Amino acid sequence: MKIPFNWPHMTGKELYNIAESHFNGRLAGDGPFTKKCHDWLEVNGHTHRALLTNSCTASLEMSALLLDVKAGDEIIMPSYTFVSTANAFVLRGATPVFVDIRQDTLNLDETKIERAITNKTRAIVPVHYAGVGCEMDSILDTAGHYGLSVIEDAAQGLMATYKGKPLGSLGKLGAFSFHETKNIISGEGGALFVNDQALAEKAEIIREKGTNRSQFFRGEVDKYTWQEVGSSYLPGELIAAFLWAQLEDAEKITEARLRSWDYYHSLLADAESQGYLNRPIIPSECGHNAHLYYVILPEHIDRNRILFKMKTAGIGAVFHYVPLHSSPAGKKYGRVSGELRNTEVLSKQLIRLPLWVGLSKEQQETVVQVLLDALRSNINV
């Protein structure tokens, strides 16, 4: 691949931090680097309690345990998302209820949530696709009216805002990912934001194998014991050491990504007005983090042919989500609410373009040239 889809950015300080943990003999979780990461996330993420986890998947699983999700409960979410959004709840025996997405942001359509609610509904899981916030005011209103919890899948949302507030800080809980493909990375890794103070202690317990070990280490209790159903959801210090270098540069990384995002957006303006494609739409209340740059092709275009042509030209462009309701496990464990027309059409027509720190303007021009050539020759056939 001449221009890969993703190239993980490293600040250069990761190895120094890891060496420090190494020399100090601090390898297990919740050491000094974890503490630095927690403090940074709490200050910059406006959350009551931030906890590092092994992945966003782990954060979502913790959320299901925290809210006591049980067999038969229903959890409202988009079908257009990553499998972990649903898996975390299916693991507890709950049913994902799939609702359609909006045409502009590809986020959960807040106007279609109410009709999906039954007396079994427990929670709503909005997914902030591409680091663009869902319509949270409306979602929180609906949730409040029906007594439901809101868990934000903010896997892609670090450093992005809705009405000036950081994504992940708006619901009861927020789940983040530091997977290599996200903006801020530690290979694998994640965080859980506990915005509801009443859940903070239980979150610590679930994360520490169901024990009150965190309280023991703070000297709040004289022994630690098994308190709740839990698991091992905390990462070791080497991961936190790596992540700390990234968090220190989070602003610079986001600015660099935004510059590339804006450049694609200007390069593709004419193609949009000529009807070759649609560019992403960012609502004015959303401050996004340039997690993805995608285009939506017209319905009559065979997206996979375009992807094949781009791949042949050495460009790492990729599609995004096979909708969960159409997947084998989604059919087995989930339920659909209403029609999912936007989900079905948009997921077939979307292409994500290469976007990473260090991608040059010339490379971006090549990507756009190859994409437009493929579209023009396709239309002329």
Ligand X SMILES: *Cc1c(COP(=O)(O)O)cnc(C)c1O
Catalytic residues: 182
**DSSP secondary structure string, 157-182?**
-TT-EETTEETTSSSSEEEEE--TTS
**Residue closer to ligand X, measured from CB, 102 or 179:** 179
| Tally of residues, the chain | 381
**Residue closer to ligand X, measured from CB, 82 or 244:** 82
Residues at the interface with ligand X (CB under 6 A): 55-57, 81-82, 84-85, 127, 153, 155-156, 177, 179, 190
CA distance 320 to 318: 7
> Least distance in Å: CB of 247 to ligand X?
16
Decide: helix, strand or coil at residue 198: helix
Query: Which tokens hold the place of 311?
Result: 């791949």
**Residue closer to ligand X, measured from CB, 57 or 227:** 57
Spatial CB neighbours of 371, under 8 Å, sequence gap ≥ 6: 295, 306, 310, 315, 317, 351, 353
**Residue closer to ligand X, measured from CB, 213 or 288:** 288
> Least distance in Å: CB of 156 to ligand X?
5
> Least distance in Å: CB of 26 to ligand X?
23
Consecutive H or E run containing 38: helix 32-45
Neighbouring C-beta atoms of residue 189, cutoff 10 Å: 26
> Least distance in Å: CB of 235 to ligand X?
11
Give per-residue burial for 342-359: e unless 16+ CB within 10 Å, then b: bbbebbbbbbbbbbbbeb
Beta strands in the chain (DSSP E): 49-53, 74-78, 95-99, 121-124, 149-153, 161-162, 165-166, 173-177, 190-194, 286-287, 293-296, 335-336, 350-353
Burial (CB count <10 Å: 0-12, 13-18, 19+), residue 201: middle
> Least distance in Å: CB of 366 to ligand X?
27
> Least distance in Å: CB of 187 to ligand X?
10
**DSSP secondary structure string, 262-280?**
HHHHHHTHHHHHTTS-B--
**Residue closer to ligand X, measured from CB, 155 or 192:** 155
**Residue closer to ligand X, measured from CB, 34 or 156:** 156
